[in-house]
């Protein structure tokens, strides 16, 4: 029941933040849409301890902020490669994905793919195969900074101080 309630609050907050409408008709439609999505999620059995919207609490926005900054830095690196193609050094890298839960492993792989210049190719158990466009991107994956951040997202421990 806790998962259903947290999903309702999350969806309602997101709906209000994105729409900004407070007219009774639109609020009623928002309530109906939140109820429908919650009911469908419950029927599809996608709610549970691992998929609880409140699972990461305040750590998720912090992680998103860090990831957004990494995306900016990676965009600048890819732009530099467009200007000077000699910087390109495409390669396939295999890195560890030691996170405890499947959802955090998928979050790790998706975060890598969202970062320009890297694409997660295969997630197999606790190993992740990634295509990196530059040597700098490959070295960053090997250093494991993003892996540490996702572990921090999962457990609250393991985050590095590096921005």
- pTM score, two decimals? 0.70
Q: Could you tell me which residues come within 8 angstroms of residue 99 by beta carbon, excluding any fewer than 6 positions away?
A: 105, 108, 147, 150, 151, 154
Report the C-alpha gap between 141 and 120 in whole angstroms: 11
Is pLDDT above 70 for 49?
no
55: pLDDT strictly greater than 60: no
- Contact call for residues 99 and 108 (beta carbons, < 8 A): yes
Residue with tokens 């609250």: 156
For residues 157 and 54, what is the distance between their CA atoms, to the nearest angstrom?
Answer: 18
- Burial of 136 by CB count in 10 Å (0-12 exposed, 13-18 middle, 19+ buried)? middle
Token couple for 64: 């998103």
Across 46-63, average pLDDT: 68
pLDDT in tens, 4-37: 888 888 889 888 888 888 899 999 999 999 999 9
Q: Report the percent of the chain where pLDDT is more than 70.
A: 89
Instruction: Return d(Cα 126, Cα 101) in angstroms, integer.
Output: 10
- Note the pLDDT tens digit of each residue in 141-156: 999 999 999 888 887 7
Tell me the Ramachandran region of residue 81: left when phi exceeds 0, alpha when psi lies from -120 to 50, beta otherwise. Answer: alpha
Is the per-residue pLDDT at 48 higher than 80?
A: no
Cα–Cα distance between 106 and 97 in angstroms, integer? Answer: 9
């Amino acid at each position: 029941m806790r998962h259903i309630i947290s999903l309702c609050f999350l969806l309602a907050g997101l709906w209000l933040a994105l729409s900004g409408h407070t007219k009774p008709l639109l609020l009623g439609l928002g309530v109906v849409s939140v109820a429908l999505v919650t009911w469908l999620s419950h029927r599809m059995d996608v709610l549970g301890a691992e998929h609880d919207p409140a699972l990461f609490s305040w750590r998720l926005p912090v992680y998103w902020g860090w990831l957004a900054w990494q995306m900016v830095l990676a965009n600048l690196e890819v732009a530099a490669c467009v200007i000077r193609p000699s910087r390109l050094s495409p390669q396939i890298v295999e890195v560890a994905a030691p996170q405890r839960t499947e959802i955090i492993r998928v979050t790790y792989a998706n975060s890598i793919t969202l970062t320009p210049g890297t694409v997660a190719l295969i997630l197999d158990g606790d190993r992740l195969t990634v295509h990196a466009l530059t040597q700098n991107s490959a070295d960053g994956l090997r250093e494991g900074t993003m892996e540490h951040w996702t572990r921090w997202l999962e457990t609250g421990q393991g985050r590095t101080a590096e921005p």
